[in-house]
Homo-oligomer: A and B are copies of this chain.
Amino acid sequence: MSVKIDGDRLWSRLMQMARIGGFGEGGVNRQALSDDEHAAWAQMIAWGDEIGLEPSTDAAANLFLTLPGQDRDLPPLLAGSHLDSQPTGGRFDGVFGVLAALEAVTAMAGAGHRPVRDVVVVAWMNEEGSRFAPGMMGSEVFAGNRNIADVRATSDAEGILCGDEIDRIHAAFPALRTRRAFQPLAYVEPHIEQGPELERSGHAIGVVSGIQGKITTEVTLTGRAGHAGTEPMATRRDAVMAFARVASALQEGVGKFETDIRFTIGRVEVTPNAPSVIASEVRFRTDLRHPRNDVLDAAAERLHRIVEQEASPCTARIETLVNAPSNAFDPVLQARIAEAAEANGHRCRSIASAAGHDARHVATLCPSAMIFIPCKEGISHDPSESATREDVIAGAEVLLDVLLASAEGVRSPVSD
């Protein structure tokens, strides 16, 4: 009996999952470690139970569902993505990769195929970084690149500690084994592109060459509060006005610095944020990305200079929260993805990832790669985020073949 993806099952599970945290027309708000993510875990574990997957978790509240292999001592194959979404996210970002991996092992189990080694479906904790910042906490801890104590000490906008929320999800699933760190053989992550390239060029599959570099900073502009109706314009130290100048200058000086640069101010917090009080403080995040590390570093230098130049009469403090250089994925896995796409009749091309992904961190631990599928108009992090049923199934078919091809070798089948 050959191992085949069940496209109807995969698509129907995607639409079922979209209802957990769903709002409006296609909107999903399923933030990290929220009650909705608890519900998503419960659904994943239930689907896993149907085919005998072993659920487990770790100190960082990553969720693992293991299809047992013939030799349980071999390093397992790992595939998946994340279940959390942005507060105004859509139905595909993250969850597609997790369900494609679940579909791949479900297809194996359904066909009575027992792989040589364990195949583990993973859902990483807090990829999005919207509730607890920065993102990709679960994969970064798993890869040994971030301290679990730092992650636990992070708090959300309401002051709730990430550590308490990790304990809460563990307590909600008392039957789950907590596993220690383990060394996978390889990691493969399917994901929507979150950009317009594949749709434009008419390819169903993107073989991801690497992830562009990213620098995230937090800028605090400090002014002085005052009465909106009385304090003369000339003596004000208005933090909102300083923000407007700084942000406009950054848009010109950094946002247009070089082709392919991405510059965003997505979060802005004003203090005291009262209509008739001159703001004493504005704190904001800058998100800067580029495929080339030299360009990225030069843009970050410009950012620092512009903030310092334009902040006056307020003062500025700049803190670098994330400095993640660009990385390249494993070439053998990339070749397997291309072969699998061809074998299944899906047009594929090489593509760089403009977005950060958990695979960036896992790649420091084991050979890793990503499979992209197109999304409509490149839109993501929005209720209008959309991918076709055909492309979703194509991505799962390619993942299945890559896993089948990679699982067989007793020793590492991929390059170092």
Contacts and interface: CB of A to CB of B under 8 A. Distances in A.
Interface of A: 86-88, 128-130, 133-135, 193-196, 212, 214, 216, 224-233, 235, 238, 240-241, 243-245, 247-248, 251, 255-256, 261-280, 285, 287, 289, 354-356, 378-382
B244 A274 contact: no
Contacts of A275: 129-130, 133-134, 216, 266-267, 285, 287
Given A87-B274, A227-B379, A266-B276, 12 more contacts: A87-B272, A88-B271, A88-B272, A130-B276, A227-B378, A228-B262, A235-B378, A240-B266, A243-B244, A264-B276, A264-B278, A265-B279
A226 B379 contact: yes
A194 B276 contact: no
Nearest to A260: B232
Q: In the complex, which of the residues A243, A272, A279 has the most CB atoms of chain B within 10 Å of its own CB atom?
A: A272
Nearest to A288: B228
B88 A225 contact: yes
Q: In the complex, which of the residues A248, A275, A278, A378 has the most CB atoms of chain B within 10 Å of its own CB atom?
A: A275
16 contacts: A88-B277, A129-B275, A130-B272, A194-B230, A227-B381, A229-B287, A233-B256, A233-B261, A240-B265, A241-B248, A241-B251, A264-B276, A266-B270, A266-B278, A267-B273, A268-B270
Contacts of A129: 274-276
Contacts of A271: 88
A262 to B, nearest CB: 6
Contacts of A194: 227, 229-230
Contact of A229 (B133, B231, B245, B262): B262
Nearest to A244: B247
A80 to B, nearest CB: 20
Contacts of A130: 272, 274-277
Contacts of A227: 194-195, 354-355, 378-381
A268 B273 contact: yes
A264 B289 CA distance: 33
A244 B248 contact: yes
Contacts of A216: 275
A251 B244 contact: yes
A262 B287 CA distance: 34
B247 A380 contact: no
A282 to B, nearest CB: 8
